[in-house]
Amino acid sequence: MPIRLGAVTYLNARPLVYGLAAHAGRFSIRFDIPSRCSALLHAGSIDVGLVPSIEYLRGADYQIVPDVAVASDGAVASVALFTARPVSSIRTIAADTSSRTSVALLRVLCARHFHIEPELHPMAPDAPAMLDRCDAALLIGDAALFLDHAALGVEKIDFGEAWRALTGLPFVYAFWAGRPGALGAADVALLREVKAAGASHPDAVAREYFGADTASVAEGARYLRENVRFDLGEAERQGLLRFYAYAAELGLVPGGAALRFY
């Protein structure tokens, strides 16, 4: 039976599955929002998932595919807080229900960087509705990347930039994780090869994703080249462990996290 992979619908994850359809005998792939992807992994409905990084600590003794991630070192453009108020006066935030890592990062940044204690209200990613209800809105993925915040009259606060300002480290949003034994050495090698190919062909990935929409293809390819990183190197690992430590201090996850790799 093929290994069941759960991938993420957003553009920033597509380089990690670029060309993987040619290996249908080895992998079957389904696409979901990040929070759904992690829920499927926890339930055992998929074997390996491209999960929000915080979810690694909320399930079984998962292992990570080495050197593959969705990360940023500075501005990420697709994870951001949108607000018409000064940050210091934000009292309520509508939080996109699509990703749990971004909500945990929001809590960390509020405590350590913005120095505010807002109420969070989970909502579907609809910027006007979110901003109608709350002082600010957390959006992720394509919804954040393509939102015309100037037209809405709001400021966009990039979480990749905020994390870099706080820690001096990259931030890791997601990676492949699964139960021990779910992947063999050849499977891991193939996922790493696919990542390398996808990261090297941002224009082709964007064309495959957007089709004939040439403006979105150009913007998407630029984003993949300039904002997103796909490696899980030493700096990314240090950023990940720092995030886990800060999240544990807030009681969001257990402390003492260790990274286990296939």
pLDDT in tens, 202-261: 999 999 999 999 999 999 999 999 999 999 999 999 999 999 999 999 999 988 889 999
Cα–Cα distance measured from residue 115 to residue 118, given in angstroms and rounded to the nearest whole number: 10
Residue 60 has pLDDT above 80, yes or no: no
pTM over 0.85: yes
* Neighbouring C-beta atoms of residue 59, cutoff 10 Å: 18
Mean pLDDT for 187-216 is: 96
Mean pLDDT for 103-119 is: 97
The predicted-structure confidence for 62-74, as pLDDT tens digits, reads as follows 999 999 999 999 9
Residue 103 has pLDDT above 80, yes or no: yes
* Neighbouring C-beta atoms of residue 3, cutoff 10 Å: 18
Q: What is the predicted pLDDT for the residue at 99?
A: 78
**Start-end ranges of CATH 3.40.190.10 in the chain?**
3-71+171-249, 79-167
Q: What share of the chain is helix, strand, coil (3-state, %, to 5)?
A: 45, 20, 30
- From the candidate CATH numbers 3.30.230.10, 1.10.1740.110, 3.40.190.10, 3.40.50.300, the one assigned to the domain spanning 3-71+171-249: 3.40.190.10
Q: What is the predicted pLDDT for the residue at 188?
A: 98
Residue type, 221: A
Cα–Cα distance measured from residue 136 to residue 143, given in angstroms and rounded to the nearest whole number: 15
Domain spanning 79-167: CATH superfamily: Periplasmic binding protein-like II (3.40.190.10)
Residue type, 203: D
Q: Which of 251, 260, 246 is nearest to 60 (CA)?
A: 260
Residue 98 has pLDDT above 90, yes or no: no
- For residue 119, the cross-strand partners are 92
Mean pLDDT for 45-61 is: 91
Q: What is the predicted pLDDT for the residue at 41?
A: 95
